[in-house]
Structure 1
Amino acid sequence: MKIKKKIKKNKGLIQFIIRSGIFFSVLLAFRFFIFLYFRHTLFFLKYLRIDADFYLDFLTGLRGRDFQNAAMFTLALFVLWNRKKLFNLKPYNQNYKESAIFGVLAMLTQVFHYVFKYWIKLNLDTALNHSFLITLIKYSFNLFFILFLAAAAYNLAFIKEQFKNYKKQIPVFSIILIVYFFLIQFFQRIWRLLGNFVARAVYFLLSLSFEKTYLRILPEATPRLGVDTFIVGISKECSGIDSLLLFISLYSAIFVLDYKILKRKRMLLLLIPGLIGTVSYNILRVYLLLLVGVFISPEFAVDMFHSNIGWILFLLFFMAFWHFGSSRVYEKK
């Protein structure tokens, strides 16, 4: 309740939350359009689909999800560390002319991005001879898209002011991002026990709804389960080990930052339902993935849905968990 009151009193923070909501909504809407529709069109498949040589491994596929989780943790840690400053953001007027200009520039970067991919398709041999440079140029279009979109949502004056305030922290949090990314890789080595448990739990839920369900668990092999002909493997990235690490990391960060004002015994006890909830939401995630694959599209399930449902559910779970749990663990002033 105290946090809600602080937010309501701070007009600058309310503006920031609204503009952040617009920024991420546009970003997600664009991502959904590309992944759900555009890249499945005949035009894209014929003229714009390029080889894997022009993609960075840590930004694509399951490694891309690891990087996404590392970025989410780093962003959450940044917010926790600077929450007092964020509660005192100054209000500022939106420059709509500037927003329109940068909005158009953001759209143009994506037009040029796909024109460049078309050039790669037409000049594949030349592009392959300079694959690393071509890859960097290709990703630069996406980087500028995000920067221009941010400028449209927040405006340059606000961005410059915040960069000035936090520029000394950027190298530190960049290192945290890299370290946490590799920590995820290390943590995934102990995934098998959790992966088998998740597979059995999801199989039980599926057996309540479907007749033809499938489960195979073998030593030193990826658990496989499915319904009818739609069968998936529960790999280390899908086992929930990343979510567990992310939850423990955020929980530990809060514990360290607010150590003096916490009821520490209650905080330790609250960790138990938090861990149970994290595993449970991951079981729900895999179960929903199977349902989407059966009733909507197998390709959509293992691609767009799989890439995004994890962090969406985690954010919803952690916000709900901390909303109800935090009122019981802080000392009353």
Structure 2
Amino acid sequence: MQSLTKTLKKRGVRSLLKKFVLFALIAFVVVPLAVDYVARDRPKVFEINYTDEFLFSGVVLLLFVIFKRKELASMKEKSIDWKQFMIYSLFSIIPFWLYYRINYLPSYFSRIGNLNMLGIISYLYFFIGVFIIGIAIFGTRFFDRFFKEIGMSFLIGFFFYTGTLFLWNRWRLFASAISDISAKVLSMIYSNASYTMGAGDPMLQAGDFSVFIGAPCSGVESLTMFVFVFLLVMAFDWDRFEGKKVFPLFTLGLAGMFVMSILRIFLLMVVGNFNKEIALTFFHSNIGAFLFVIYLLVFWYFSYPWLKKRG
């Protein structure tokens, strides 16, 4: 990662990061505020989480910088072409205006009828506007030069983003699975170990201690972080790795991360039977991060040499 740090210090890369900050401010702060101001008290039909979209853009940028770190390091610092910026910014008003019409004046699109389709079209118009803002700030030459890499970074970021949403929308499934397995493991120590799944969060009990397994404890967050780190490592050193080994290692890594989530819950329950206050405060707040870091260090210590191409 040292070469990446050096890359980030180059003038061309710093210029790129400054442009990204401007892009994020316009696309995810100025535009939403302007649309909401124009709409004022009109009810919104479809909600876009601008924070998530900003984070998604950040992931795409980071992957792009990693992919093209050598070429970006040799780039000269270039200022924004303000004439081009004004022209494309004016063009971006059209898709943003259509996004506004769907979101706040859905009667204009009542012929479509399908609410899900309207939602997709709403997102599409918004991202077309964001894309045009990107051209306005970074320039057409930049997109022509790095079109393939930008597209690749976008696709990887998109699959990571949608995969993350998929996992978080199914956190109860993970929570119930972890609770069930943890209860069976804990039954070797505590005779009353059990878990119940009601309308709310799963409840796990062992000995004199019981907890609700909510979304943060379901293991989804650690799985998401593992996938993100795995993507960064793959993007950074892809040329050094044997491609056929990547998917089996990724699957093994996810399985190991799931086991670590079970271990975390197991340790929490054991500590809770000794001291409930420590278990629910200090231990609960730190054990997840501690186990995650230890797991990553051990995982990459053994898997990195195995992944590398021979010779």
State the TM-score, normalizing by the size of structure 1.
Answer: 0.48
The match for 2:273 is none
Match of 1:113 in 2: 99
Q: Which residue, 218, 222, 243 being the options, matches 1:244?
A: 222
Q: Check 1:221–1:123 CA distance in 2 against 1; reply closer, same or farther (3 A cut).
A: closer
Alpha-carbon distance in 2 for matches of 1:179, 1:7 = 23
- Does structure 2 conserve the Cα–Cα contact (< 8 Å) formed by 1:77 and 1:250? no
SS at match of 2:75: coil
CA distance in 1, matches of 2:38, 2:217: 28
Give the C-alpha shift of residue 183 in structure 1. 7.2
Q: Distance in 2 between matches of 1:240 and 1:33?
A: 35
Which residues of structure 1 form unaligned runs of 5+?
196-216, 225-232, 261-271, 280-316
| Partner of residue 145, structure 1 | 129
The residue identity in structure 2 corresponding to 1:106 is: S
* TM alignment of 1:133-172, pairs within 5 A: 134-163=118-147, 166=149, 170=152
User: Structure 2 counterpart of 1:160, which letter?
Assistant: D
SS of 2:146's equivalent?
A: helix
Q: Using CA pairs below 8 Å that are at least 6 residues apart, which structure has the higher relative contact order?
A: 1
| Of 39, 42, 45, the match for 1:44 | 42
Equivalent position SS for 2:77: coil
Moved more, 79-88 or 153-162: 79-88
What letter is aligned with 1:149? I
Letter in 2 for 1:85: E
C-alpha contact 1:222 1:234 (8 A) present in aligned 2 = no
- TM-score for the superposition, normalised by structure 2: 0.51
Q: CA shift at 1:116, angstroms?
A: 4.4
C-alpha separation in 1, matches of 2:109 and 2:157: 39
- Is contact 2:175-2:213 (8 Å) kept? no
The equivalent residue for 2:174 is 190
Query: Separation in 1 of the partners of 2:93 and 2:217?
Result: 37
Distance 1:7 1:179 in 2: 23
Map 1:4-23; keep pairs closer than 5 Å: 5-8=6-9, 10-23=10-23
Q: Deviations over 1:64-104 (max 9, x none)?
A: 96x98887666644543443333333433421111012222
Structure 1 CA distance for aligned equivalents of residues 107 and 160 of structure 2: 36
What number of residue pairs does the alignment pair up?
222
For structure 2, which runs of at least 5 residues remain unmatched after alignment?
A: 180-194, 203-211, 241-256, 265-288, 302-311
Q: Which has the higher Rg, Structure 1 or Structure 2?
A: 2
User: Is the alpha carbon distance of 1:71 and 1:98 closer, same or farther for their aligned partners in structure 2, counting shifts above 3 Å?
Assistant: closer
Q: CA RMSD for the aligned pairs?
A: 5.1
| Maintained 8 Å contact 2:12/2:78 | yes
CA displacement at 1:150 relative to structure 2: 0.5
Q: CA deviation at 1:154?
A: 0.8
Deviations 1:86-143 (A, max 9, x none): 333343342111101222222343233323455532563x231x65665554333212
1:127 paired residue number: 112
Following TM superposition, by how much is the alpha carbon of 1:173 offset from its aligned partner in structure 2, in angstroms? Answer: 6.3
Is 1:223 the counterpart of 2:201? The answer is: yes
Cα deviation, residue 258, structure 1: 5.5
2:67–2:149 contact (8 Å) kept in structure 1: no
Of the structure 1 ranges 83-92 and 182-191, higher mean CA displacement relative to structure 2 is found in 182-191
Q: Cα 1:120–1:223, aligned 2, differ >3 Å: closer, same or farther?
A: same
Alignment-derived partner of residue 99 in structure 1 = 85
Counterpart of 1:249 in 2: which secondary structure? helix
Q: For the residues of structure 1 that align with 2:99 and 2:106, how far apart are their CA atoms?
A: 11
Which amino acid in the other structure matches residue 223 of structure 2?
L
Pair 1:88-2:74 in alignment = yes
User: What is the SS of the residue equivalent to 1:44?
Assistant: coil
Q: Contact 1:102–1:151 (CA<8 Å) still a contact in 2?
A: yes
* Whole-angstrom CA distance in 1 between matches of 2:214 and 2:34: 26
SS where residue 157 of structure 1 aligns?
Answer: helix
After TM superposition, give the deviation of residue 166 of structure 1 in Å.
2.3
